[in-house]
Structure 1
Amino acid sequence: MSFSLPFAYPWLAERTFLEPASEFEYAGFRGLLFSMAICCILGGILRFLGRGSRGSHLFQKEAMAIVGLSWVLATILGALPYYLSGTSIGPDSSMTFIEAMFESQSGFSTTGATVLTDLETPELVPHCILFWRSWTHFLGGLGIVVLFVAILGQGSAGKAMMRAEMPGPTKEGSMPRMQHTALVFAAIYVALNAILTAIYMLEGMTLFDGLCHAFGTMATGGFSTYNASHGQFDSAIIDYTTILFMIAAGTNFTLLYLTLIGGPKRLLADVEFRTFIGIIFLVTVGVVFFGMRAGDYRFDNIFDALRFGLFQVVSIITTTGYGTADFDGWNNFGRGILLMIMFIGGCAGSTGGGLKVIRHILFYKILVHEIEHAHRPRVVRFIRIGGSNVDDPAIARGILVYFSMILAIFVVSWLALITLEPNSTWGVDDSYTTQEAAAAGMTDTLDEKLLDCASAVIATLNNIGPGVGVVGATQNYAGFSQGAKLLFVWLMMLGRVEIFSVLVLIFPTFWRRV
Structure 2
Amino acid sequence: MNYPIVMRLLGMVSWLIGATMLGSVPWAFPWFGQAEHVEWQGLIALAGSMAACGAIGAVLRYLGRGAQISIYRREAMAVVGLSWVLATVLGALPYLFSQSAVAWEEYDTGLRKTMTIADCLFESQSGFSTTGATVLTDIEDPLLLPRSILFWRCSTHFLGGLGIIVLFVAVLGQGSAGKALMRAEIPGPSKEGAQERMQHTAWTFAGIYCVLNLVLAVVLHLESMSWFDAICHAFGTMATGGFSTYNASLGHFNSAVIDYTVLVFMVIAGMNFTLIYLVSIGRGIQMLKDIEWRIYMTIIVAGSLVLGAISVWMYEDFDPNSNLRDAEEVVAAARYVPFTFVSILTTTGYGTHDFDRWNQFGRAVLFLLMFVGGCAGSTGGGMKVIRHVLFVKILRLEIEHSYHPNVVRHLRLGGVAIPDPELRRTILLYFGLVTFIFMLSWLMLVGLEPDSTWSEHNQPLQNKLIDSASAVAATLNNIGPGLGTVGATQNYEAFSSFAKLLFVLLMMLGRLELFPVLVMGTPAFWRKH
Q: What TM-score comes out, normalization by structure 1 length?
A: 0.91
Q: 2:48 aligns with which of 34, 40, 48?
A: 34
* Counterparts of residues 7-406 of structure 1 (less than 5 Å): 17-22=32-37, 25-53=39-67, 55-92=68-105, 93-154=113-174, 157-172=177-192, 174-293=194-313, 294-297=315-318, 300-406=328-434
* Conserved 8 A contact 1:89-1:115: yes
CA distance in 1, matches of 2:308, 2:281: 36
CA distance in 1, matches of 2:505, 2:373: 19
CA distance in 2, matches of 1:407, 1:16: 50
AA aligned opposite 2:82: L
Name the counterpart of 1:485. 500
Name the counterpart of 2:481. 466
* Conserved 8 A contact 1:60-1:157: no
Percent identity over the alignment is: 58
The structure-2 alpha-carbon separation of the partners of 1:20 and 1:398, relative to structure 1 and needing over 3 Å to count, comes to closer
**SS at the partner of 1:363?**
helix
The structure-2 alpha-carbon separation of the partners of 1:154 and 1:395, relative to structure 1 and needing over 3 Å to count, comes to farther
CA distance in 2, matches of 1:173, 1:492: 26
CA drift at 1:157: 4.2
* Conserved 8 A contact 2:187-2:378: no
Larger deviation, residues 167-176 vs 375-384: 167-176
CA drift at 1:263: 3.6
CA drift at 1:19: 4.8
CA drift at 1:445: 2.9
CA drift at 1:44: 1.4
CA distance in 2, matches of 1:193, 1:504: 33
Where structure 2 has 5 or more consecutive residues not aligned to the other structure, the ranges are 1-29, 106-112, 321-327
* Conserved 8 A contact 2:455-2:461: no
The structure-2 alpha-carbon separation of the partners of 1:298 and 1:37, relative to structure 1 and needing over 3 Å to count, comes to farther
**SS at the partner of 1:505?**
helix
* Conserved 8 A contact 1:116-1:476: yes
* Conserved 8 A contact 1:58-1:154: no
- The count of corresponding residues between Structure 1 and Structure 2 is 485
Name the counterpart of 2:5. none
**SS at the partner of 2:417?**
strand
**SS at the partner of 1:90?**
strand
CA drift at 1:396: 1.1
CA distance in 2, matches of 1:446, 1:498: 32
The structure-2 alpha-carbon separation of the partners of 1:301 and 1:258, relative to structure 1 and needing over 3 Å to count, comes to same
Larger deviation, residues 472-481 vs 293-302: 293-302
Q: Deviations over 1:112-145 (max 9, x none)?
A: 0000000111111111111000000000011111
Q: Deviations over 1:52-85 (max 9, x none)?
A: 10x3411111111000101001000000000100
CA distance in 2, matches of 1:126, 1:165: 32
**SS at the partner of 1:52?**
coil
* Conserved 8 A contact 1:344-1:357: yes
CA distance in 2, matches of 1:20, 1:369: 61
Q: What TM-score comes out, normalization by structure 2 length?
A: 0.89
AA aligned opposite 1:30: I
**SS at the partner of 2:210?**
helix
* Conserved 8 A contact 2:318-2:332: no
CA distance in 2, matches of 1:153, 1:36: 23
AA aligned opposite 2:492: Y
